Structure 1
Amino acid sequence: MDVAGIRGTAEPHGDSRTKLSADYEAFLQLLTAQVANQDPLAPMDSSTYVTQLAQLSQVEQAVQTNERLSEISSRLAVAGSYAEVGLIGREVDLSLEAFAPRPDGTPIGIRFDAAVPAHTIRLIDPDGLVVRELPGGAAMADEWSEVEWDGLDAQGAPAGEGPFILEVVASDAAGAAVPYSTRLRATVEGVVIGPQGTRLVLDTGEEVGPGDVLRIG
Protein backbone atom coordinates (compact mmCIF):
# COMPACT_ATOMS: atom_id res chain seq x y z
CA MET A 1 0.00 0.00 0.00
CA ASP A 2 1.33 3.41 -0.97
CA VAL A 3 1.66 5.57 2.14
CA ALA A 4 3.73 8.33 0.53
CA GLY A 5 0.83 10.74 0.78
CA ILE A 6 0.52 10.41 4.56
CA ARG A 7 1.89 13.08 6.87
CA GLY A 8 1.74 13.12 10.64
CA THR A 9 2.11 15.58 13.47
CA ALA A 10 2.87 14.97 17.12
CA GLU A 11 -0.13 14.82 19.43
CA PRO A 12 0.26 16.37 22.89
CA HIS A 13 -0.67 14.44 26.04
CA GLY A 14 -4.04 15.31 27.51
CA ASP A 15 -4.28 17.56 30.54
CA SER A 16 -6.34 14.93 32.40
CA ARG A 17 -3.62 12.31 32.00
CA THR A 18 -0.92 14.69 33.26
CA LYS A 19 -3.02 15.74 36.28
CA LEU A 20 -3.85 12.13 37.18
CA SER A 21 -0.18 11.11 37.09
CA ALA A 22 0.75 14.13 39.23
CA ASP A 23 -1.96 13.24 41.77
CA TYR A 24 -0.64 9.68 41.92
CA GLU A 25 2.94 10.82 42.58
CA ALA A 26 1.81 13.29 45.24
CA PHE A 27 -0.32 10.64 46.97
CA LEU A 28 2.60 8.20 46.99
CA GLN A 29 4.96 10.80 48.48
CA LEU A 30 2.50 11.76 51.21
CA LEU A 31 1.85 8.14 52.16
CA THR A 32 5.59 7.38 52.29
CA ALA A 33 6.25 10.45 54.44
CA GLN A 34 3.39 9.54 56.77
CA VAL A 35 4.74 6.02 57.33
CA ALA A 36 8.34 7.20 57.76
CA ASN A 37 7.46 9.88 60.29
CA GLN A 38 4.83 8.15 62.37
CA ASP A 39 5.21 8.08 66.13
CA PRO A 40 6.69 4.70 67.17
CA LEU A 41 4.68 4.91 70.42
CA ALA A 42 1.46 5.56 68.51
CA PRO A 43 1.83 3.85 65.14
CA MET A 44 -0.68 4.22 62.36
CA ASP A 45 -3.81 2.16 62.79
CA SER A 46 -3.60 -0.92 60.57
CA SER A 47 -7.08 -0.41 59.11
CA THR A 48 -6.19 3.16 58.15
CA TYR A 49 -2.98 1.95 56.54
CA VAL A 50 -4.84 -0.70 54.55
CA THR A 51 -7.41 1.87 53.44
CA GLN A 52 -4.71 4.23 52.20
CA LEU A 53 -2.96 1.40 50.37
CA ALA A 54 -6.25 0.52 48.69
CA GLN A 55 -6.66 4.16 47.64
CA LEU A 56 -3.12 4.14 46.27
CA SER A 57 -3.88 1.00 44.29
CA GLN A 58 -7.02 2.59 42.82
CA VAL A 59 -5.11 5.69 41.73
CA GLU A 60 -2.39 3.54 40.16
CA GLN A 61 -4.98 1.51 38.26
CA ALA A 62 -6.62 4.72 37.03
CA VAL A 63 -3.27 5.97 35.71
CA GLN A 64 -2.60 2.68 33.91
CA THR A 65 -6.13 2.56 32.48
CA ASN A 66 -5.83 6.12 31.20
CA GLU A 67 -2.51 5.32 29.52
CA ARG A 68 -3.92 2.21 27.87
CA LEU A 69 -7.01 4.06 26.63
CA SER A 70 -4.80 6.78 25.21
CA GLU A 71 -2.68 4.16 23.42
CA ILE A 72 -5.77 2.40 22.03
CA SER A 73 -7.20 5.71 20.85
CA SER A 74 -3.95 6.58 19.06
CA ARG A 75 -3.80 3.19 17.36
CA LEU A 76 -7.42 3.42 16.22
CA ALA A 77 -6.78 6.91 14.80
CA VAL A 78 -3.77 5.68 12.84
CA ALA A 79 -5.66 2.61 11.60
CA GLY A 80 -8.52 4.82 10.40
CA SER A 81 -6.05 7.12 8.68
CA TYR A 82 -4.49 4.23 6.78
CA ALA A 83 -7.97 3.33 5.57
CA GLU A 84 -8.17 6.80 4.01
CA VAL A 85 -5.00 6.11 1.99
CA GLY A 86 -7.20 4.25 -0.47
CA LEU A 87 -8.69 7.62 -1.47
CA ILE A 88 -5.34 8.98 -2.72
CA GLY A 89 -5.59 9.53 -6.45
CA ARG A 90 -9.39 9.16 -6.43
CA GLU A 91 -11.92 11.79 -7.40
CA VAL A 92 -14.41 12.68 -4.68
CA ASP A 93 -17.49 14.85 -4.45
CA LEU A 94 -17.36 17.17 -1.46
CA SER A 95 -19.96 18.98 0.59
CA LEU A 96 -18.31 22.42 0.59
CA GLU A 97 -19.48 25.97 0.11
CA ALA A 98 -16.10 27.74 0.07
CA PHE A 99 -13.44 26.53 -2.35
CA ALA A 100 -10.43 27.47 -4.47
CA PRO A 101 -10.78 27.27 -8.28
CA ARG A 102 -8.88 24.63 -10.22
CA PRO A 103 -6.75 25.62 -13.24
CA ASP A 104 -8.54 23.13 -15.47
CA GLY A 105 -12.01 24.13 -14.33
CA THR A 106 -14.07 23.52 -11.22
CA PRO A 107 -17.06 21.14 -11.55
CA ILE A 108 -19.96 22.36 -9.43
CA GLY A 109 -22.89 20.06 -8.71
CA ILE A 110 -26.31 21.33 -7.59
CA ARG A 111 -29.42 19.52 -6.39
CA PHE A 112 -32.72 21.28 -5.65
CA ASP A 113 -35.41 20.17 -3.20
CA ALA A 114 -38.07 21.10 -5.75
CA ALA A 115 -38.23 21.60 -9.50
CA VAL A 116 -37.06 25.00 -10.73
CA PRO A 117 -37.63 26.63 -14.15
CA ALA A 118 -34.19 28.31 -13.99
CA HIS A 119 -31.41 29.18 -11.55
CA THR A 120 -28.29 31.32 -11.21
CA ILE A 121 -24.96 30.42 -9.61
CA ARG A 122 -23.06 33.24 -7.92
CA LEU A 123 -19.35 33.05 -7.10
CA ILE A 124 -18.44 35.42 -4.25
CA ASP A 125 -14.85 36.40 -3.41
CA PRO A 126 -13.39 36.84 0.13
CA ASP A 127 -14.42 40.53 0.07
CA GLY A 128 -18.07 39.62 -0.48
CA LEU A 129 -18.14 40.73 -4.13
CA VAL A 130 -19.87 38.68 -6.80
CA VAL A 131 -17.13 37.98 -9.36
CA ARG A 132 -19.18 35.79 -11.69
CA GLU A 133 -22.74 34.68 -12.29
CA LEU A 134 -23.38 31.45 -14.17
CA PRO A 135 -26.89 31.06 -15.60
CA GLY A 136 -28.54 27.68 -15.28
CA GLY A 137 -31.61 26.19 -16.86
CA ALA A 138 -34.50 24.17 -15.53
CA ALA A 139 -33.80 21.41 -13.04
CA MET A 140 -35.84 18.57 -11.62
CA ALA A 141 -36.23 17.94 -7.90
CA ASP A 142 -33.65 15.72 -6.15
CA GLU A 143 -31.49 15.33 -9.27
CA TRP A 144 -27.87 16.44 -9.52
CA SER A 145 -26.90 18.76 -12.36
CA GLU A 146 -23.37 20.00 -13.01
CA VAL A 147 -21.82 23.19 -14.33
CA GLU A 148 -18.12 23.95 -14.69
CA TRP A 149 -16.52 27.25 -13.70
CA ASP A 150 -13.40 28.24 -15.62
CA GLY A 151 -12.06 30.43 -12.78
CA LEU A 152 -12.64 33.68 -14.69
CA ASP A 153 -14.61 36.71 -13.54
CA ALA A 154 -17.35 38.52 -15.46
CA GLN A 155 -14.74 40.41 -17.53
CA GLY A 156 -12.90 37.24 -18.53
CA ALA A 157 -9.92 37.83 -16.21
CA PRO A 158 -8.70 35.35 -13.55
CA ALA A 159 -10.92 35.75 -10.49
CA GLY A 160 -8.07 34.97 -8.06
CA GLU A 161 -7.19 32.18 -5.66
CA GLY A 162 -10.23 32.54 -3.43
CA PRO A 163 -11.59 30.91 -1.46
CA PHE A 164 -14.89 31.62 -3.16
CA ILE A 165 -18.34 31.12 -1.68
CA LEU A 166 -20.93 29.38 -3.79
CA GLU A 167 -24.45 30.82 -3.75
CA VAL A 168 -27.39 29.62 -5.84
CA VAL A 169 -30.48 31.69 -6.57
CA ALA A 170 -33.54 29.68 -7.60
CA SER A 171 -37.31 29.92 -7.32
CA ASP A 172 -40.12 27.53 -8.06
CA ALA A 173 -43.02 28.25 -10.39
CA ALA A 174 -44.78 30.22 -7.63
CA GLY A 175 -41.74 32.42 -7.04
CA ALA A 176 -40.74 30.87 -3.70
CA ALA A 177 -37.06 30.27 -2.98
CA VAL A 178 -36.03 26.63 -3.33
CA PRO A 179 -33.52 25.04 -0.92
CA TYR A 180 -30.55 23.34 -2.54
CA SER A 181 -27.43 21.28 -1.91
CA THR A 182 -24.05 21.73 -3.58
CA ARG A 183 -21.06 19.51 -4.14
CA LEU A 184 -17.61 20.08 -5.60
CA ARG A 185 -15.37 17.52 -7.29
CA ALA A 186 -11.67 17.24 -6.47
CA THR A 187 -8.85 14.69 -6.42
CA VAL A 188 -7.31 13.46 -3.16
CA GLU A 189 -3.51 13.86 -3.24
CA GLY A 190 -2.57 12.93 0.32
CA VAL A 191 -3.60 12.29 3.91
CA VAL A 192 -2.57 14.30 6.99
CA ILE A 193 -2.68 12.73 10.47
CA GLY A 194 -2.74 15.28 13.30
CA PRO A 195 -4.30 16.19 16.66
CA GLN A 196 -7.57 17.11 14.93
CA GLY A 197 -7.83 13.73 13.23
CA THR A 198 -7.42 12.71 9.61
CA ARG A 199 -7.50 15.34 6.87
CA LEU A 200 -7.59 14.76 3.12
CA VAL A 201 -5.29 16.93 1.00
CA LEU A 202 -6.95 17.92 -2.29
CA ASP A 203 -5.42 18.90 -5.61
CA THR A 204 -6.74 22.42 -4.95
CA GLY A 205 -4.41 22.70 -1.93
CA GLU A 206 -7.31 22.52 0.52
CA GLU A 207 -7.64 20.09 3.42
CA VAL A 208 -11.02 18.56 4.30
CA GLY A 209 -12.28 15.92 6.69
CA PRO A 210 -13.41 12.47 5.50
CA GLY A 211 -16.91 13.43 6.62
CA ASP A 212 -17.05 16.08 3.88
CA VAL A 213 -16.91 13.38 1.20
CA LEU A 214 -20.33 12.77 -0.35
CA ARG A 215 -19.30 10.34 -3.08
CA ILE A 216 -16.15 8.63 -4.34
CA GLY A 217 -15.76 8.82 -8.11
Structure 2
Amino acid sequence: MTGEGRPNSGISRRELLAGMAGVLAVAPFVGGASAEAVVLPPIRDTFHGLSAFLVPGRDRFSAHQGRTSATPGGVEAGTAAPLERTYDQAIPFPLVGRPFDLDLPGAAAIAAILNLTAVAVDPLAAVGPFAAAFANLSFERKAEVFARLERPGLADGTPVRFLINTIPTLAAFIAYSEAPVFDRATGRLTAVPVGWQLSGYDGVGDGWAEFQGYYRGIDRVTD
Protein backbone atom coordinates (compact mmCIF):
# COMPACT_ATOMS: atom_id res chain seq x y z
CA MET A 1 0.00 0.00 0.00
CA THR A 2 1.16 3.57 -0.61
CA GLY A 3 -0.29 5.15 2.53
CA GLU A 4 -3.94 5.48 3.51
CA GLY A 5 -5.17 2.55 1.47
CA ARG A 6 -3.76 3.41 -1.94
CA PRO A 7 -2.31 0.32 -3.73
CA ASN A 8 1.10 0.08 -5.35
CA SER A 9 -0.28 -1.69 -8.42
CA GLY A 10 -1.01 1.47 -10.37
CA ILE A 11 -1.93 5.12 -10.46
CA SER A 12 -5.20 6.54 -11.70
CA ARG A 13 -5.44 8.94 -14.61
CA ARG A 14 -6.59 11.67 -12.21
CA GLU A 15 -3.56 11.11 -10.00
CA LEU A 16 -1.27 11.13 -13.01
CA LEU A 17 -2.64 14.44 -14.25
CA ALA A 18 -2.44 15.94 -10.79
CA GLY A 19 1.13 14.77 -10.43
CA MET A 20 2.04 16.28 -13.79
CA ALA A 21 0.48 19.55 -12.67
CA GLY A 22 2.57 19.44 -9.53
CA VAL A 23 5.76 18.84 -11.47
CA LEU A 24 4.97 21.67 -13.87
CA ALA A 25 4.25 23.95 -10.91
CA VAL A 26 7.70 23.42 -9.46
CA ALA A 27 9.67 22.92 -12.67
CA PRO A 28 10.53 26.60 -13.22
CA PHE A 29 12.68 26.70 -10.09
CA VAL A 30 14.45 23.36 -10.49
CA GLY A 31 17.41 22.42 -12.63
CA GLY A 32 19.18 25.66 -13.36
CA ALA A 33 16.38 27.80 -14.75
CA SER A 34 17.38 31.32 -15.69
CA ALA A 35 16.65 34.16 -13.30
CA GLU A 36 13.96 35.47 -15.63
CA ALA A 37 12.16 32.12 -15.67
CA VAL A 38 12.24 31.47 -11.93
CA VAL A 39 8.86 31.49 -10.20
CA LEU A 40 9.03 31.37 -6.44
CA PRO A 41 7.20 28.50 -4.72
CA PRO A 42 4.35 29.33 -2.32
CA ILE A 43 6.58 29.95 0.68
CA ARG A 44 4.06 31.26 3.19
CA ASP A 45 1.52 28.45 2.65
CA THR A 46 4.34 25.89 2.85
CA PHE A 47 5.51 27.25 6.18
CA HIS A 48 1.95 27.44 7.49
CA GLY A 49 1.57 23.76 6.61
CA LEU A 50 4.87 23.02 8.35
CA SER A 51 3.88 24.99 11.46
CA ALA A 52 0.57 23.14 11.68
CA PHE A 53 2.35 19.81 11.38
CA LEU A 54 4.82 20.54 14.18
CA VAL A 55 2.44 22.39 16.52
CA PRO A 56 -1.20 21.65 15.55
CA GLY A 57 -3.74 24.26 16.52
CA ARG A 58 -7.25 25.43 15.73
CA ASP A 59 -6.44 26.99 12.33
CA ARG A 60 -7.52 25.84 8.86
CA PHE A 61 -4.13 24.32 8.01
CA SER A 62 -4.36 22.08 11.07
CA ALA A 63 -7.97 21.20 10.28
CA HIS A 64 -7.11 20.22 6.71
CA GLN A 65 -4.28 17.90 7.80
CA GLY A 66 -6.66 16.13 10.19
CA ARG A 67 -4.72 16.94 13.37
CA THR A 68 -5.86 19.87 15.51
CA SER A 69 -5.71 21.18 19.07
CA ALA A 70 -8.06 23.25 21.19
CA THR A 71 -5.17 25.61 21.91
CA PRO A 72 -3.33 27.97 19.55
CA GLY A 73 -0.72 26.28 17.39
CA GLY A 74 2.22 27.15 15.20
CA VAL A 75 0.14 28.93 12.57
CA GLU A 76 -1.63 31.14 15.09
CA ALA A 77 1.70 31.82 16.78
CA GLY A 78 2.91 33.47 13.57
CA THR A 79 5.78 31.06 12.94
CA ALA A 80 5.89 31.44 9.15
CA ALA A 81 7.14 35.04 8.87
CA PRO A 82 10.20 34.80 11.17
CA LEU A 83 11.02 31.36 9.75
CA GLU A 84 11.02 32.80 6.24
CA ARG A 85 13.16 35.75 7.35
CA THR A 86 15.65 33.46 9.09
CA TYR A 87 16.18 31.26 6.05
CA ASP A 88 16.47 34.25 3.73
CA GLN A 89 19.21 35.71 5.92
CA ALA A 90 20.98 32.38 6.49
CA ILE A 91 20.98 31.24 2.84
CA PRO A 92 21.37 34.38 0.71
CA PHE A 93 22.80 32.38 -2.22
CA PRO A 94 21.18 29.80 -4.53
CA LEU A 95 21.00 26.34 -3.01
CA VAL A 96 22.57 23.80 -5.35
CA GLY A 97 23.14 20.19 -4.41
CA ARG A 98 21.90 16.69 -5.09
CA PRO A 99 19.27 15.51 -5.45
CA PHE A 100 17.30 18.72 -5.88
CA ASP A 101 19.65 21.08 -7.78
CA LEU A 102 17.61 24.13 -6.85
CA ASP A 103 18.49 27.53 -8.23
CA LEU A 104 16.83 29.28 -5.31
CA PRO A 105 18.13 30.90 -2.13
CA GLY A 106 16.69 31.08 1.35
CA ALA A 107 13.14 30.21 2.27
CA ALA A 108 12.21 29.56 -1.36
CA ALA A 109 14.68 26.66 -1.52
CA ILE A 110 13.30 25.13 1.67
CA ALA A 111 9.72 25.48 0.41
CA ALA A 112 10.68 23.91 -2.91
CA ILE A 113 12.23 20.89 -1.20
CA LEU A 114 9.10 20.31 0.90
CA ASN A 115 6.72 20.72 -2.03
CA LEU A 116 8.72 18.56 -4.44
CA THR A 117 8.79 15.78 -1.88
CA ALA A 118 5.09 16.28 -1.10
CA VAL A 119 4.15 15.70 -4.75
CA ALA A 120 6.34 12.58 -4.78
CA VAL A 121 4.50 11.28 -1.69
CA ASP A 122 1.05 12.08 -3.09
CA PRO A 123 0.55 13.48 -6.62
CA LEU A 124 -2.88 14.77 -5.59
CA ALA A 125 -1.19 17.19 -3.20
CA ALA A 126 -0.67 19.46 -6.19
CA VAL A 127 -4.42 20.13 -6.10
CA GLY A 128 -6.04 21.38 -2.91
CA PRO A 129 -7.23 24.37 -0.91
CA PHE A 130 -3.71 25.71 -0.42
CA ALA A 131 -1.12 26.91 -2.91
CA ALA A 132 1.55 24.63 -1.40
CA ALA A 133 1.48 20.90 -2.05
CA PHE A 134 2.99 20.23 1.38
CA ALA A 135 0.16 22.12 3.10
CA ASN A 136 -2.40 20.01 1.20
CA LEU A 137 -1.11 16.75 2.68
CA SER A 138 -2.62 14.89 5.61
CA PHE A 139 -0.69 14.81 8.87
CA GLU A 140 0.47 11.25 8.18
CA ARG A 141 1.73 12.09 4.71
CA LYS A 142 3.59 15.13 5.99
CA ALA A 143 5.37 12.69 8.30
CA GLU A 144 6.18 10.59 5.23
CA VAL A 145 7.75 13.64 3.58
CA PHE A 146 10.20 13.94 6.46
CA ALA A 147 10.78 10.19 6.52
CA ARG A 148 11.91 10.42 2.90
CA LEU A 149 14.02 13.51 3.48
CA GLU A 150 15.75 11.81 6.40
CA ARG A 151 16.70 8.65 4.52
CA PRO A 152 20.41 7.84 4.70
CA GLY A 153 22.25 8.78 1.54
CA LEU A 154 19.94 11.61 0.51
CA ALA A 155 22.13 14.67 -0.09
CA ASP A 156 24.77 13.34 2.31
CA GLY A 157 27.95 15.38 2.22
CA THR A 158 26.25 18.48 0.82
CA PRO A 159 24.90 21.67 2.42
CA VAL A 160 21.43 20.43 1.48
CA ARG A 161 21.65 17.68 4.11
CA PHE A 162 22.40 20.19 6.85
CA LEU A 163 19.55 22.45 5.75
CA ILE A 164 17.04 19.60 5.58
CA ASN A 165 17.94 18.69 9.15
CA THR A 166 17.17 22.23 10.31
CA ILE A 167 13.62 22.34 8.94
CA PRO A 168 11.62 20.72 11.78
CA THR A 169 13.99 21.87 14.52
CA LEU A 170 14.10 25.52 13.53
CA ALA A 171 10.36 25.74 12.82
CA ALA A 172 9.43 24.20 16.18
CA PHE A 173 11.92 26.43 18.00
CA ILE A 174 10.41 29.56 16.44
CA ALA A 175 6.85 28.40 17.15
CA TYR A 176 7.62 28.24 20.87
CA SER A 177 9.85 31.31 20.95
CA GLU A 178 9.23 35.04 21.27
CA ALA A 179 10.31 35.68 17.66
CA PRO A 180 6.80 35.94 16.13
CA VAL A 181 5.80 38.78 18.50
CA PHE A 182 9.17 40.44 19.00
CA ASP A 183 9.38 43.99 17.65
CA ARG A 184 12.97 44.34 16.49
CA ALA A 185 12.67 48.12 16.25
CA THR A 186 11.69 48.62 19.89
CA GLY A 187 13.16 45.45 21.38
CA ARG A 188 9.80 44.67 23.02
CA LEU A 189 7.11 42.02 22.71
CA THR A 190 3.86 43.06 21.06
CA ALA A 191 1.82 40.24 22.61
CA VAL A 192 2.14 37.22 24.86
CA PRO A 193 3.92 34.54 22.79
CA VAL A 194 1.86 31.44 22.04
CA GLY A 195 4.80 29.35 23.20
CA TRP A 196 4.53 30.89 26.65
CA GLN A 197 0.84 29.98 26.77
CA LEU A 198 1.44 26.40 25.66
CA SER A 199 4.30 25.82 28.09
CA GLY A 200 2.77 27.66 31.04
CA TYR A 201 5.70 30.08 31.19
CA ASP A 202 4.91 33.17 33.27
CA GLY A 203 7.37 35.39 31.44
CA VAL A 204 10.44 37.31 32.47
CA GLY A 205 10.74 37.91 36.20
CA ASP A 206 12.61 40.71 37.99
CA GLY A 207 13.52 38.51 40.92
CA TRP A 208 11.85 37.43 44.13
CA ALA A 209 11.21 39.60 47.16
CA GLU A 210 12.88 37.01 49.40
CA PHE A 211 16.21 37.71 47.77
CA GLN A 212 16.11 41.49 47.88
CA GLY A 213 18.42 43.23 50.36
CA TYR A 214 21.09 41.64 52.53
CA TYR A 215 20.87 38.72 54.89
CA ARG A 216 20.72 40.05 58.48
CA GLY A 217 22.32 43.29 57.37
CA ILE A 218 25.50 41.61 56.15
CA ASP A 219 26.58 43.23 52.89
CA ARG A 220 30.15 41.93 52.64
CA VAL A 221 32.44 39.16 53.82
CA THR A 222 36.01 39.74 54.85
CA ASP A 223 38.79 37.20 55.01
TM-score by length of 2: 0.20
Greater share of residues in helix: 2
Q: RCO higher in 1 or 2 (8 Å CA, sep ≥ 6)?
A: 1
